[in-house]
Amino acid sequence: HFSRVVIPKENRFTKCDVCVLIHRELEKTTDRAQRAELEKLRSDHNALQMDQRARYHEIRHRAETDHSMMSIIVDGMDQSATNLPHQKKISKSTVNLWHLRTHFTGAIVHGDCSEGFLDYLQYPHDPNLT
């Protein structure tokens, strides 16, 4: 049905610092013992991440069914994607033009609502923004 949809081979999301470090070290070494140690580190790290995700999904599900609980997730979007004007293709003559810098933050209150917040960088972007 979606013959024009192309799925990139490489995930475009940023990677975890630990994952990138382990990957780089694996690329550099051919020593079997060191590779085995790095693979164990990666496996332990991935297990921890999966445990954290499972816990999050458990809490989210409880908040959706038990209204005495609340689960909120907040995330900010990559700022370069929200600058205006936003163009799919940028020419050399327009790449250095001034853009209105904006920042979009989304929040989901599981089982209740979702909201989006747009600001023009008029507030400091630190942990207190949320």
- Examine the pLDDT at 3 and tell me if it is beyond 70: yes
Which ranges in the chain belong to alpha helices (H)? 17-28, 32-65
- Sign for the pseudo-dihedral over CA of 27, 29, 32, 34: negative
Tokens representing residue 46 in the block: 């991935």
- Examine the pLDDT at 111 and tell me if it is beyond 80: yes
Q: What's the CA angle centered on 85, arms 82 and 87, to 5 degrees?
A: 85
Confidence band, pLDDT 50/70/90 cuts, at residue 130:
low
C-alpha Rg value of the chain to the nearest Å: 21
Put the strands of the sheet holding 113-119 in their side by side order.
72-76, 103-109, 113-119
